[in-house]
Amino acid sequence: MNRTVNVVRLQLVNKMTYIWIPLIILVGAWVLTLAIYAMLSGNGAPGPFYGGGSQAPLWYFLVVGIQALTFTFPFSQAMSITRREFYLGTLLTAALTAAILSTVFLLGGFVETATRGYGMNGYFFRIDALWAAGWWVAWLAYFAIAMLMFVIGFWAATIYKRWGTIAITVVLVGLGLLLVAAMWLTGRLDAWAEVFAWFGAQGALGLTLWGVLLTALLAGTSYLTLRHAVP
């Protein structure tokens, strides 16, 4: 257990990857978004304004997931760490940083609510669809998205590490084909209305929990792949 916690410290040795870069992306996206809102507001547009800028640090978790494996796994082996300790410690690191990011989003959301969108009716952190069911659902949704992104990156990187470039390319293309096939089938069955209705019925919390399930599935697969990966 102690060694697993030490893996968190090992991962966080690289403060650039886990702290500074996400912070720069977050602050950068926030400043850019507010500048655009200010221009719109200055021209007399009443809002409300919404932008996709807050997605940026969440996408970055994809990169963090990849780097956590490709850069740190070989070094963890040199530190005589078992694959299990590395895996658990790395996921713990991701959970910690995702929790911090979600908390920042939550606090930002409260500020935006209190100031009515910085006094110009513009929202960066607060997404009504997520906040409708309560602030804790919003927090959970942000957390789940960040974790899902991280695990997707980590999952892809384990496949690359174990079986090489061709394997990961084939897997990703294969998944793309499956997705297209599913879309084709949905259209063929004329079922798009039902699909959208299903998504609508799940609500923010339901979709978040589905995301958690997908995350768990990918994380489990990553572990099985990592167990026989060679640094």
Q: What is the CA radius of gyration of the chain?
A: 20
- Determine if 10 is a binding residue for other proteins (CB under 8 A): yes
CB of 126 to other proteins, least distance (A): 33
DSSP 8-state assignment for residue 124: S
Out of 54, 72, 93, 222, the only residue in the binding site for other proteins (CB under 8 A) is 72
Which class for 145: exposed (0-12), middle (13-18), buried (19 or more C-beta within 10 A)?
buried
Please tell me the distance from the alpha carbon of residue 139 to that of residue 218, in angstroms, as a whole number: 22
Q: Based on CB atoms, which residue is closest to other proteins, 85 or 112?
A: 85
- Determine if 173 is a binding residue for other proteins (CB under 8 A): no
- Determine if 50 is a binding residue for other proteins (CB under 8 A): no
Q: Based on CB atoms, which residue is closest to other proteins, 77 or 221?
A: 77
Helix H segments across 122-134? Answer: 128-131
Please tell me the distance from the alpha carbon of residue 175 to that of residue 165, in angstroms, as a whole number: 16
CB of 67 to other proteins, least distance (A): 6
CB of 104 to other proteins, least distance (A): 23
Out of 82, 113, 186, 221, the only residue in the binding site for other proteins (CB under 8 A) is 82
Which residue matches tokens 């979600």? 102
Q: Which tokens is 163 given?
A: 């079986």
Could you list the residues that contact other proteins (CB under 8 A)?
Answer: 3, 6, 9-10, 13-14, 16-17, 67, 71-72, 74-75, 77-85, 227-228, 230-231
